[in-house]
Amino acid sequence: MKLSGLRGAGAAAGLAALLLLQACGGGGGSAAGAPAGSAAAASGGGAEPVTITIGYQSPTAQTWGALIIKNRKLYEKHLKEQVPNKSYQVEWFDAPAGSVLNNNMAGGKIQISFLGDMPSLLNGVLGITQSNYHSVFLAFDGKGELGRNQAILVPKDSDIKSVADLKGKTVSTPIGSSSHRMLLESLRRVNLVDQVTIVDQSVTVGMQSVEQGKISAHSTWEPYPSLMQVKGIGRVLQFGEETKIDYLAGVVANLDWAKNNKPEAIAFLRALNEAHEFIRSNPEEAARIFEEESKFPAEVCRKMVENIRFDAAIYQKDLNTLSGSIEFLSSIGKLQKKLELKSFVDDAYLRDAVEAVNKTYLTDAELQGEWIKGKVY
């Protein structure tokens, strides 16, 4: 079948500091430019190791499978097992948004990226509109059932009590994101799509706007809704589950790189599978790693372990969700060209990775149904 712990005094200062940290990127790369250390480093006068650069987003909790791989050096482990005769240097590039990762992937600076559903699809479009770049969707990372891990937030003392109260108000969200789709669906359900002004604001700006009462509401994704609640400087107006649209994040690779480096691509997916199993089997340790790598509070990180399904498997229902997202992006003029999922999504690498560690992938019949509880890859 082819188919991205704060403990300072004062909530406002704490949130501002964390948002600044996330905007600047908390990991191994410059958030605004090219990945740091993307050139191969010499190793003691011998042959230079092959550098593989992976993009991720610490401000997006459903891409936090990356944090486990990075912290536990799982990719290095599986590269050594899968390709024992080569030396590798794994670089990590932490970006504030999927658009930054897409630009660097199209520029040949990143081989693999953890992306939300909309940036993944936009990456796919880049792969068919640019002559020097092609892309492939390899697997999922985090999944939020029925829209879990998204929310519409309002200031703590706001008199807005329901989505219907947003009539005539101004609401912000990153335009073209899954949270934008969630917001529009929420407004559609109460016939307010044309009676609410929607403005484009990044997550960091939107969170600050909510904190300072400069916006009526902001639609966003975890870990920010939980952070606002933990800090007591904002509250949830509506959770994403009300829309019943799954919220997904995935892993996209440079297709030419994956074809020419199939063992390395398979080793990465082996690492991804091990990371997902680690999160499921070691929730407390996973939360600790999330806290260490993301710099979000422990309470928030524990909630992410509980609420996110980390599962690489590509179910038909996931493809249906992505198809709906393609229609959404087309409706708001964000797609230069219609993307065909059958040519973009390829689970062959994932199947090979599962078989390489003597596991059995889901059957075609299982992939046609609902997510199987407790069975993750």
pLDDT of residue 18: 52
**What single-letter DSSP state applies at residue 62?**
G
Confidence tier at 19 by pLDDT (50, 70, 90): low
Cα separation, 369 vs 362, in Å, equals 11
pLDDT of residue 269: 98
| Domain ranges across the chain | 11-144+247-367, 147-243
Long-range contact set of residues 183-187: C-beta below 8 Å, sequence gap at least 24: 183/152, 183/219, 184/328, 185/243, 185/245, 186/152, 186/219, 186/238, 186/242, 186/243, 187/163
pLDDT of residue 1: 45
Mean pLDDT value across the chain: 89
Over residues 236-256, the pLDDT tens digits come to 999 999 999 999 999 999 999
Cα separation, 192 vs 199, in Å, equals 15
Note whether 11-144+247-367 and 147-243 share their fold: yes
Cα separation, 18 vs 6, in Å, equals 7
Distance of CA 185 to the CA centre of its chain: 21
pLDDT of residue 336: 80
Over residues 176-226, the pLDDT tens digits come to 999 999 999 999 999 999 999 999 999 989 999 999 999 999 999 999 999
Residue 326 has pLDDT above 70, yes or no: yes
- Which H or E run includes 304? helix 298-307
Confidence tier at 4 by pLDDT (50, 70, 90): very low
Whether 252 and 136 have beta carbons less than 8 Å apart is answered as yes
Q: Does domain 147-243 have CATH number 3.30.450.40?
A: no
Give residues with Cβ within 8 angstroms of 251, minimum separation 6.
112, 113, 114, 115, 137, 138, 139, 140, 141, 268, 269, 272, 312
CATH hierarchy code of domain 11-144+247-367 = 3.40.190.10
Residue 2 has pLDDT above 60, yes or no: no
Over residues 271-320, the pLDDT tens digits come to 999 999 999 999 999 999 999 999 999 999 999 999 999 999 999 999 99
pTM listed for this prediction: 0.88
SS3 105: helix
pLDDT of residue 10: 40
Counting every residue written for the chain, the total comes to: 377
